[in-house]
């Protein structure tokens, strides 16, 4: 054999070794909607710091649902499992079909392989081509994060793994005409805030740091290419001392960040007292728990937080105040909505063109007092957030606390908020629910499914 033929033969023989690996495609289905039950294990006199049915946890996973008018479906993700005794995490994707009133068997986008911690939950977006993306959170550098893309547009039948990387608390947003801007956390020097961008979701810029003052939790929102974020900080990297409230925004795909008044911020933010600071809650000895953020009719940011006197559950933290923080165009204002009995009572803020401002949250005491969550309620403001009244109780006489009411991007009035329940005091089943815009009807997603599709049960 000639030397040339020998070389050609070796190239052909070794070609598979140099070819691109086969893509990872996940398409397995679960037999119903079972949320994950979790306990942090930090017990005190009044129970765990947080625990219970945390299928729509955390507040730092944003968004968890998107309504797609092209398909007339609300797509959503949650952290599920296979049964009440099986405490390992499966990242699930599904949808509610508004035409048929049905849901499919949920797709297991990612199996966390023994991890039971819903800090590894996913976030969702739908790109301009209609593909459903699921960003699966990691946990620092101990567990990696993943990005998945649906094989077909407006479908959850199968997902292709796109990346494996270090990222926690993913918050991805589609920027029309530009691509995806992704806000997330890395455990570099505490829980520090980063962002990255991509034109196609496959090739990404380097990670760029937004804030590193010992650690932060944030919540974000996007409108017309403008991404806004509100965040607290962790003195000395201690999350149980979380305090202060900061705000930043970008209108140029992450090229620059500004304050609400338009002042350019020098990133990364490293000084505790910087132009992004809204209020020095540290000086007031108050803790700050991030809940949600939205735009008012003028495009001004509105932030929802709970402030507290103690990180532990129980009366020592009272008063726990649901606080609405609004930029008027010239200053920040602060309004009390109501009070809560737990720091991790999490709800969503809705500001829409009908003139009503809404909050759907577990503000009412549930069957497990002092535990995470409670009974869901609908709060309304008819004067742009200046005053609030409880419109109705969405849930009542429940066997388990309801927690983490989440809204959809472009929320459809028939699937306005969804959440999970669970007993924070002991291991229990966790069911998933959604409500309509008026909060006068609740549906339970099917816990067991024998058919490929089923109708949620009206309660």
pLDDT score, position 21: 67
Q: Supply the pTM of this predicted model.
A: 0.94
pLDDT surpassing 70 at residue 2: no
What is the tens place of the pLDDT at every residue in 269-279? Answer: 999 999 999 99
What is the tens place of the pLDDT at every residue in 125-146? Answer: 999 999 999 999 998 778 999 9
pLDDT band, residue 114 (cuts 50/70/90): confident
**CATH code that applies to domain 25-458:** 2.130.10.120
| CA atoms of 430 and 36, how far apart (whole Å) | 7
Among 17-31, 75-89, 207-221, 355-369, the minimum mean pLDDT is found in 17-31
Q: What token pair was written down for 243? A: 């305090």
Q: Where are the domains of the chain?
A: 25-458
pLDDT band, residue 402 (cuts 50/70/90): very high
């Amino acid at each position: 054999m000639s030397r040339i033929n020998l070389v050609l033969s070796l190239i052909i023989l070794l070609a598979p070794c140099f070819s691109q690996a086969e893509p990872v495609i996940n398409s397995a289905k679960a037999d119903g909607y079972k949320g994950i039950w979790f306990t942090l294990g930090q017990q005190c006199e009044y129970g765990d710091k947080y625990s219970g049915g945390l299928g729509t946890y955390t507040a730092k996973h944003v968004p968890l649902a998107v309504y797609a008018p092209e398909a007339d479906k609300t797509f959503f993700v949650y952290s599920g499992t296979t049964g009440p005794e099986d405490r390992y995490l499966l990242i699930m994707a599904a949808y509610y079909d508004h035409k048929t009133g049905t849901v499919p068997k949920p797709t297991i986008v990612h199996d966390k392989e023994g991890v039971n911690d819903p800090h590894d939950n996913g976030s969702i977006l739908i790109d301009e081509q209609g593909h459903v993306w699921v960003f699966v959170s990691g946990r620092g550098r101990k567990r990696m994060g993943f990005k998945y893309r649906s094989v077909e547009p407006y479908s959850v039948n199968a997902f292709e793994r796109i990346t494996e990387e270090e990222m926690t608390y993913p918050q991805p947003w589609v920027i029309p005409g530009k691509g995806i801007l992704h806000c997330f956390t890395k455990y570099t020097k505490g829980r520090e805030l980063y962002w990255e961008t991509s034109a196609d979701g496959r090739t990404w810029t380097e990670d760029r740091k937004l804030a590193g003052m010992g650690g932060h939790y944030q919540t974000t929102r996007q409108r017309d290419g403008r991404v806004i974020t509100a965040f607290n900080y962790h003195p000395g990297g201690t999350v149980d001392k979380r305090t202060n409230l900061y705000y930043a925004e970008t209108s140029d795909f992450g090229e620059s960040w500004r304050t609400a008044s338009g002042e350019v911020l020098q990133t990364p933010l490293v000084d505790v007292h910087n132009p992004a600071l809204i209020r020095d809650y540290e000086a007031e000895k108050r803790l700050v728990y991030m809940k949600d953020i939205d735009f008012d009719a003028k495009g001004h940011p509105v932030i929802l937080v709970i402030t507290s006197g103690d990180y532990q559950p129980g009366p020592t933290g009272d008063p726990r105040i649901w606080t609405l923080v609004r930029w008027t165009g010239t200053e920040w204002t602060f309004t009390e909505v109501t009070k809560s009995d737990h720091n991790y009572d999490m709800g969503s803020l809705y500001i829409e063109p009908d003139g009503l401002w809404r909050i759907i949250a577990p503000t009412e005491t549930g069957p497990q007092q002092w535990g995470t969550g409670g009974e869901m309620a609908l709060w309304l403001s008819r004067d742009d957030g200046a005053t609030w009244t409880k419109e109705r109780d969405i849930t009542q006489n429940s066997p388990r606390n309801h927690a983490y009411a989440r809204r959809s991007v472009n929320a459809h009035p028939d699937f306005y908020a969804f959440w999970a329940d669970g007993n924070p005091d002991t291991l229990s089943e966790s069911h998933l629910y959604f409500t309509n815009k008026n909060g006068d009807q609740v549906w339970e997603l099917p816990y067991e499914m024998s058919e490929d599709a089923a109708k949620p049960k009206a309660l």
